[in-house]
Structure 1
């Protein structure tokens, strides 16, 4: 009886030991790989704000291309908060990602987070927005020159208002590199035209709802005939302003309502006549190219310091080029 019990006990111990050995063998293969146990390289991305349709589209394109390239992509949304952005970078460093992508929240404050990536000796790829006077290192930048977007808006304004006019200018968020560069480009073009005057400049945080509320207030401030144009730094803000103008039956007062991004809603608004123009920025191209460049970096290949995807003016006349 005693021998029978010992035999059964020995058999149970042997089975447990075999199960443990099998488990260790299976889990051991994930060392140095991704979170799902594969050998994929992992890219961690902190992306300014995924509340913006443009950046949602960019992220979707990046996800698709990451999968095609055999990369694991972790996308994070700091919601335009530099403190959250820093925490996300710290978390990505802790996860030991192989490469970090940043769309910086602020061209100055966000540099601290970028330097943490440098300190962790992880390659840094900037997308959509680059830094000025950066005291750290990044391998490559993929995006468009926001200064050019502002210049395109300024030139369109000058061409459409040869006799001059008053302008409402809606910016995204002060301190953001895109905000400051678009403004600088816009002002560089209109400064030589004394008859064009920005009568109001306000921050609308890229929000359609906020821009609509601002525009409703401004329509009460400026009676018919006092303002001829609305220039917004994003399609979302331009659409919000245009909605307020339409609801007030003031469309004939405004010769220009213009945004930036060439989002699906922005392009539709140009086609519908709600907006007169936008400046197309290639969200899909930026997301796809970013992951192509990331793969090359991780494979040890050389990459260009800058990959520029130019902005393009969109009006009703050439709209089909962007919607076909």
Structure 2
């Protein structure tokens, strides 16, 4: 009888310990900080670098974080649905790089109204957020315009390959460039197209442009990112006209650095892809730390003059 009682007590104790462990495990899981990252699109290397860089850093440094990433697939309505889903999952912080300002503004406001901290990366929305992290796009556009003005001696016909229509980066990169070349009456944008920051769309548009404008009628191409600049180079090289056109890009991907080194790309302007600064900032606000409303990351121009120092540092 004593042996049986001892067995029952031991079994009950073991069951209590197992249950306690299960409860402790559940409590530990519940204690994880949920941070959602809504990426607008993953259709080019800069966006991939942003996602992968933040994911890697979170995995290595924040064991107490449940980091959930979504891809809007270059579709604003899909990204809105992604954010709504993240809100429903009970995230504490929303990191978002919005595809366009207007489309994502209402759902970001919804998150803020629900008490969720919001960290915008690269692109902005038209409603207050906890903090914005990124480079400044307007000065990049100005820098590109000033670079081409110097290179072309203030005279030339330019094709502008714009990014996604309605994106804050596109608006500012266009505005800054326009402001810079406005000082030079003999510099004009003769054709412009939204190519969504993708190489394939830039290639299609540039193929039309080399048909429309004959040799000597285009002096420069200003692309809002390196992918589109590389697409322009591809078309101009095939047409045998790259030597007469100065191509400028933005972002700082390694393939663009190689093109600068080879003399195919006149310049690119490094635009930080906000990793790991994105997740670092989101973690701070999740922990209740004070952060400034805007965190501006540095940018740098890359030309033949400094390419030797930049090779190998692109994404």
TM-score (norm 1): 0.87
Which secondary structure does the structure 2 equivalent of 1:168 belong to?
Answer: strand
- Counterpart in the other structure of 1:293: 281
1:121-132 equivalences in 2 (<5 Å): 121-131=115-125
Confirm whether residue 60 of structure 1 aligns to residue 52 of structure 2: yes
- Counterpart in the other structure of 1:3: none
- Counterpart in the other structure of 1:4: none
Which secondary structure does the structure 1 equivalent of 2:106 belong to?
Answer: helix
- Please list the CA deviations of residues 36-61 of structure 1 after superposition, one character each: whole Å capped at 9, or x if unmatched: x3743121011111112111112122
- Kindly report the root-mean-square deviation, in angstroms, between the aligned alpha carbons of the 2 structures: 2.3
Counterparts of 1:31 and 1:97 in 2: how far apart (Å)? 17
Shift of 1:244: 0.6
Asked if the contact 2:138–2:172 (Cα under 8 Å) also holds between the matched residues in 1, the reply is yes
The structure 2 residue matched to 1:69, chosen from 62, 71, 78, is: 62
1:150-189 equivalences in 2 (<5 Å): 150-189=141-180
Confirm whether residue 83 of structure 1 aligns to residue 66 of structure 2: no
CA distance 1:163–1:296, shift in 2 (3 Å): closer
Counterparts of 2:22 and 2:87 in 1: how far apart (Å)? 22
Confirm whether residue 221 of structure 1 aligns to residue 219 of structure 2: no
1:173-252 equivalences in 2 (<5 Å): 173-252=164-243
Q: How many residues align?
A: 304
Asked if the contact 2:43–2:74 (Cα under 8 Å) also holds between the matched residues in 1, the reply is no
- Please list the CA deviations of residues 117-142 of structure 1 after superposition, one character each: whole Å capped at 9, or x if unmatched: 112211111111123xx34x311111
Asked if the contact 1:243–1:274 (Cα under 8 Å) also holds between the matched residues in 2, the reply is no
CA distance 1:312–1:30, shift in 2 (3 Å): same
The structure 1 residue matched to 2:266, chosen from 268, 276, 282, is: 276
Counterparts of 2:155 and 2:114 in 1: how far apart (Å)? 53
Shift of 1:113: 1.5
Counterparts of 1:112 and 1:24 in 2: how far apart (Å)? 44
Counterparts of 1:92 and 1:23 in 2: how far apart (Å)? 33
Is the deviation greater in 74-83 or in 20-29? 20-29
Confirm whether residue 100 of structure 1 aligns to residue 94 of structure 2: yes
- Counterpart in the other structure of 1:138: 129
Asked if the contact 1:30–1:39 (Cα under 8 Å) also holds between the matched residues in 2, the reply is no
Confirm whether residue 46 of structure 1 aligns to residue 38 of structure 2: yes
Shift of 1:100: 0.5
Unaligned runs of 5+ in 2: none
